[in-house]
Amino acid sequence: MSIIVINPPNKPFTNSSILAEPLDVLQIATIIKSKFNNVKVIDMDASRMENNIDNYLEDRNIVVFVYDYQLPLHTSATIDNIFEIIKNTKKETKFIIVGKTSTYYYEKFLNNGMDVVIKGIVDDSINKVIENIYDITSLKSIPNIAYKDSNKIIVTEHKIIENKFNELDTIDRSILEFDNYMDTRTMISSRGCIGTCKFCTTPYFFKKWNGRNAESVVEEIEMLKNKYNAKKIMFLDDNLLVDKERINKICDLLKEKNIKCLYGCLCSISCYDYELVKKMYNVGFRWIHFGLESGSETILKKMNKEMDLDRIRKIVKEVKSIGYRVRTSFILDYPGSTKEDIIKTKNFILDLEPHELRLHYLAYRVGTPVFYENKDVKNKSQYIHSNKPNIYNEELTKEINNLLKELKNKNYNIIYDECDWNEYNNKDVDTKIAAFTPIKYGMCWYE
C-alpha cells in the first residue's frame, strides 16, 4: 500500500518566486514515516500539477491532504481542487485530511468524498487513523476524528490534545525535491502562541506555545547549511521570542559553532527584549517582522491586541538602529474601523516607516472569535492574502488611498498584485516595499 502526503495545488498556483517548502506537510509526513516505510510527498502546487494524481498511485493507496494546518498557504478555492482530485482518482484510495478548515467544516469534506477528517492537532492520531482506516469499528475508538458509516457522519469523542511540538522528530526533508523552491530556506522551531488576537487561528487551534530545544534547532540549521547550502533561513514560528532563555542558548550555540548564515523571524512586541534582539543580530539575524495591525488604540482593543503605541515607536526605531530590516503588518478593514481609525493607522505607519509593509484586508478565519462575532458579514474571505476588502466602504477606501499616496511620496514600491519578487533580490538594504500580496522572504538581507 502506498501512503502519499499531499500539498494540494493552490488556486491559482502560488507565485513561483515566493514558493517555500510546505513544512507542515513535511512534518506530518515525518510523523507517518516513523511508523510506515512507503511514504511519499507530492507538492502539487510547486509542481504545477492539475487535479489528478493517478500516475502516482499504486493499486491500493492512502492519501493524506494537508490543507490550512500550520501554514496558511492556500486560497479557499483550493478546497474545490481537493474535491476534484478525489473525483478524478480511479484507483482504490482512502482519503484523509488535516487542517483548520476541515476541522470546523468536516461535514462538507465528508460529503465530497473524504473518508476521514482529523480534527485539531494530529500528532497522536494520524498513524492510528492510517492503521485502522479500513476498520470502522476501530475508527470509533480514535478521538477527534469524523468519518462516514453507512452515509451517517460519525464524530468521535472530543479530547484535548496537548501541544507537544518539542517531542516531534525534526522534519525529514529527504522525502521532497527542493529544486522548485525559493533560495531562502525555512524552518519552524515552535508551535502555538502566547497571544489571543481575535483574528488569528493559532492560539485557538494549537493552544499553548511549545518549542524545540536549542540544540535540536541549531542541528537543523547546520543540516540546512551543510546539505542544502543555505545562506538565508527564515523562521516561520508565529513568535520566535516567546522563550528568551531558549533563544539566548541558540545564539550561544551559533556563535560557539561559528555558523555563518543570515536569519529572519516573526516576533511579538510583547516579547521584545533589546539586549536579546541585539545578540541575535550579532549571530546573523537581519530581518524581523512585527504584527502591529493598527495604529488605533480602539481597534487594537477590539482585536484583543492592546499595545502601547509609543513603546512600539521606540522599539521599531531601536531595531532599525541595530541594523535589522523591519517588516510590519496592518489590517485595514477590521470590523468597527472608522475614518478616524484609518487616519491614526496611516499616521502611525508613516511615523514608523518600516522597510516592508504588509497591508491586509481581514481574513475571517474559521475558528477565530472575529469569525463568529460578525455574523452580518456574508461571503467572509478566509484567505489571508486577499487584496480586496470584505465590504466596500467609500470613506475608508479614500483614506487608504491617501495612505498609499503618502507612501509613494516616501519612495515606497507599492505592490497591489502578484509580481516577480526575484527582481528585488539585489536591491539595497533600505529598499522600501508596501504590498497587498505576500512578500518574498530573504530580499535585501545583507551582512
Distance separating alpha carbons of residues 193 and 181, to the nearest angstrom: 27
Average pLDDT over residues 280-308: 97
Residue 162 lies in a domain: no
Tell me: do 303 and 346 sit in the same domain. yes
Question: 327 and 389, same structural domain?
Answer: yes
What is the arithmetic mean of pLDDT over 131-141? 95
Examine the domain organization and report whether 66 and 186 are in the same domain: no
19: CATH: 3.40.50
Among 73, 365, 120, CA closest to 81: 73
Does 192 score more than 80 pLDDT?
yes
- Residue 168 resides in a domain: no
| pLDDT tops 80 at residue 166 | yes
Residue 447 lies in a domain: no
Distances (CA, A) of 360 to 96, 309, 390: 32, 19, 11
Q: What is the pLDDT of residue 380?
A: 73
- What percent of the chain lies above the pLDDT cut of 90? 88
Structure confidence at residue 96 (pLDDT): 98
Q: What is the DSSP letter of 295?
A: S
Whether the per-residue pLDDT at 392 is higher than 80: the answer is no
Query: Is 170 a member of any domain?
Result: no
In whole angstroms, what is the distance from residue 83 CA to residue 85 CA? 5
Whether 441 is in a domain gets the answer: no
Residues in CB range of 159: below 8 A, 6 or more apart: 143, 144
Contacts for 297 with CB less than 8 Å, ≥ 6 apart: 306, 309
Identify whether 443 is part of a domain: no
Q: Is residue 79 part of a domain?
A: yes
Q: What is the pLDDT of residue 320?
A: 98
Question: The domain that contains 368 carries what CATH number?
Answer: 3.20.20.70
Same domain, 70 and 122: yes
Lowest mean pLDDT among 167-171, 174-178, 193-197, 379-383: 379-383
Q: Summarize pLDDT for 17-39 with one digit per residue, the tens.
A: 999 999 999 999 999 999 998 99
> Which of residues 178 and 46 earns the better pLDDT score?
46
- Domain residues for the domain of 413 are 182-435
pLDDT at 73 over 90: no
The reply to whether 280 and 398 lie within a common domain is yes
Q: Are residues 145 and 223 in the same domain?
A: no
Cα distance between residue 45 and residue 7, in whole Å: 7
* 279 and 383 share one domain: yes
**Predicted confidence (pLDDT) per residue in 339-386, tens digit:** 999 999 999 999 999 999 999 999 999 999 999 998 888 777 777 777
Distance from C-alpha of 45 to C-alpha of 43, rounded to nearest angstrom: 5
The domain total for the chain is 2
At residue 356, the pLDDT reads 98
pTM for the model: 0.95
Residues 143 and 205 in one domain: no
pLDDT reported for residue 179: 87
Lowest average pLDDT, out of 38-47, 339-348, 419-428, goes to 419-428
Q: Does 203 fall in a domain? A: yes
Averaged confidence pLDDT in the chain:
95
- What pLDDT does residue 390 have? 74
Q: pLDDT higher for 88 or 390?
A: 88
Q: How many C-alpha atoms does 205 have within 13 Å on its Cβ side?
A: 27
- Both 150 and 243 in one domain: the answer is no
pLDDT of residue 161: 94
Q: Are residues 286 and 389 in the same domain?
A: yes
- Whether residues 263 and 132 share a domain: the answer is no
